[in-house]
Amino acid sequence: MEITWYGHSCFRITERGMGTVVCDPYDSQEAGFEPLKLKADVVTCSSNHPGHHFISAVKGDPFIIDSPGEYEINNVFINGYRSGETDGVKNTIFVIEYNGLFVAHLGNLNRIPSLSEIETYGTIHVLLIPVGGGGALNSSKAVELISQIKPNIVIPMHYADPLGKQELDPLSKFLKEMGISQTEDVYNSLKITNTTQLPEETKLIILNHPLSDSLNEQDDSAEDNNEEVNAG
């Protein structure tokens, strides 16, 4: 399974022989960033806000999932859970399973779910979590939720970027809240073979996106650099 970030809250998840999922495609006029040029079998949209629900940016006649429920498309299992609303806009958390690997995309979540809600989500191996506030979780709430979910891997999203139009907190604020003094390595994507060699302790992975300078410093090693979790 490979996870690639395209800025804001948009990710593509792929696996050979299985359906490709794009999460929260954005309207570049609304969110900033470069216009998306993606193709997928499935699109999940956490809300109907144009920063999270711009379906026309994704080609391939994808199956659209924008509400809670249980779904199976091209051997990919997806569960959607309602998680509150902001200014009348409802948010849905999606847990996506590829061959026993569970990825949770929290969308524009703005509150800490109850323990019973978290138990409903089940095992979470990779957590895609907003950290920049602006109607979603800020850094302190994100760290609190991470400590409750205890995923193997955390990938932050929805934070300030020079290409973004929304006023959000910088990634550095989240890193400080996590107790990280130096910027972690930045990768173009995350590749996971299976669950057997996932880190036992929660590991933070920072993904780059095209033309990103969100860390306010260029990391030349990010080019052609993928983080791989292999089965050995």
For residue range 65-100, what is the model confidence (pLDDT) as tens digits? 999 999 999 999 999 999 877 667 789 999 999 999
Higher pLDDT, 11 or 164: 11
Residue type, 32: G
Domain ranges of the chain: 2-217
Of the chain, the percentage scoring pLDDT greater than 70 comes to 88
pLDDT in tens, 104-141: 999 999 999 999 999 999 999 999 999 999 889 999 99
- Domain 2-217: assigned CATH number: 3.60.15.10
225 or 51, which is more confident? 51
pLDDT at position 40 is: 97
pTM for the structure as a whole: 0.90
Closest CA to 92 of 61, 132, 123, 121: 121
Structure confidence at residue 49 (pLDDT):
77
Instruction: State pLDDT tens for residues 4-57.
Output: 999 999 999 999 999 999 999 998 888 778 888 999 999 999 988 777 888 999
Q: Provide the pLDDT for residue 97.
A: 97
